Amino acid sequence: LDLIQAAFLEVGLPFGGFMMSLFISQKWKTSNLAEEIQEGFPNYPGSFIEKFLNFMLTWVCPIVLGIMVIITVLQKFFQIVIIG
């Protein structure tokens, strides 16, 4: 059960977030995301929240989650400790 926990909980969830942020920012485009959010939040276009969310989904989330997945895989499956 430790292998399943390491594979799905500690690696799978951050990897899923990494892939979702890449999909939204690169494939689906943040303009489509803005259209979806605008349906429930009419003031969204041009707001600070839109700029912040675009920045986070395009740059911060993929970088942080990608690093987190790499470090976790190295520690859990290869016993290579980079941080710590």
User: Over the stretch 7-64, which tens digit does the pLDDT of each residue have?
Assistant: 888 899 999 999 999 998 899 988 898 999 999 999 999 999 999 999 999 999 999 9
Tokens standing for residue 10: 């500690």
63-78 average pLDDT score: 92
- Our CA angle for 22, 24, 27, nearest 5°, is 80
Query: What's this model's pTM, rounded to 2 decimal places?
Result: 0.81
CA dihedral 7, 8, 9, 10 (to 10 degrees): 30
What 8-state DSSP symbol labels residue 80?
Answer: -
